[in-house]
Every structure is written in C-alpha cells, then in structure tokens.
Amino acid sequence: MVVTLIGYRGSGKSTLAAPLAARLGWDWVDADTVIEDSAGCTIRDIFAAEGEAGFRTRERSAIVGLVSRDRLVLAAGGGAILNPDTRRDLRAAGPVVWLQAGLETLAARIAGDPTTAGRRPSLLGGGLAGGGPQEIARLLAEREPLYRECATLIVDTADRNIDEIVDEICRGLPH
C-alpha cells in the first residue's frame, strides 16, 4: 500500500511525508526529488528546457514506478493530479490524502521556502517562482476539483503542528 499526499505547493506534502512514514514504520519519497535526481537538474530547469509537458511526462513516469512499491508514503507534486491516469493509479495504490491550507497560508509558506526560487517554476510565466496570490488562487480553482476527485481523506494543515496533522492522517487511514 502507498499513502499519497497531494495538495498545492506549500500545503505540507514534503514536510509531512517523513514524520508520517516514521509513525507508520514505512519508507517515504518526494516525487519531485525523484524527478530531479533522474534528470540531474531542478524542476525549474526541466520546465525551462522541456516545458510543462516535458516535466509532466517525467512526473508520470516517476509516479508509475513509485505506486508499485509497498509501505511507502509518497509526497506527490502539486500538479500530479492533472493527469487522469495518475489520479487513477494513486487511488489504486492506497489512500490519497489531500492536504489543504488557505490562500494566505500557502502564499506565506511558499514565500518563506528558501528552495522555491531555485527549484520551482512560476506556472504562469510571471517572475516569482512560487507565484503570487493571483497565481495560487487561479491554480487552486483549476485543481481543487481534481484534488477532490482523487482524495480519500482531506486534512487541513493551516495553524496546526506536524504531530496533530500526522495523528489525523493516521486516524483516517484504513487499519
């Protein structure tokens, strides 16, 4: 079984994957890191060289390999749910946890992440790598129905500590 964490950039997927895996006694992986390691460059560089379509092809390939594993917590990229085959595969592999946070929380987390500028592309092509509130709001509006379709559990990560969130996820997992 794979427990997949989905949600917008800054929702807590990468932050929560390791403590959740530790609680379960499982391995964990960040799909974006797998993609970067395979490509030998950052996601920002992949977007620059291959565009979003090239990145999404790489992402799909990485996820196909990851969902075949067992006892794994997978932090999926924020846009992984854009592919209907990926949504199906994530659900077939095990519970899918949609991590949510409000627009202001997401914007603050993205702005405060020192790795965002070097690793992440602006999905609107505007300057900020994390995007401004307008970019976040637009992409959330597009992606929310897909997150909802894919999710088996929805967890709000705003104004909560890691242990509280991991507790809620564990309570929501099948036993």
Is the pLDDT confidence value at 118 over 80?
no
Distance of CA 108 to the CA centre of its chain: 17
Collapsing DSSP to helix, strand or coil, 2 comes out as strand
CA-to-CA distance for 150 and 24, rounded, in angstroms? 22
Return the pLDDT at 30.
Answer: 97
What's the pTM? 0.90
**Within a 13 Å sphere around the CA of 75, how many CA atoms are in the beta-carbon half?**
22
Q: In terms of pLDDT, which residue wins out, 10 or 6?
A: 6
Is the pLDDT confidence value at 8 over 80?
yes
Domain chopping of the chain, boundaries: 2-169
What are phi and psi for residue 124, nearest 5 degrees?
Answer: -105, -5
- The CATH number of the domain covering residues in 2-169: 3.40.50.300
Kindly report which listed range (6-20, 114-128, 158-172) carries the lowest average pLDDT score.
Answer: 114-128
Residue with tokens 């129905």: 145
Two structure tokens written together for 135: 């970019």
- Tens of pLDDT, residue by residue over 66-94, are 999 999 999 999 999 999 999 999 999 99
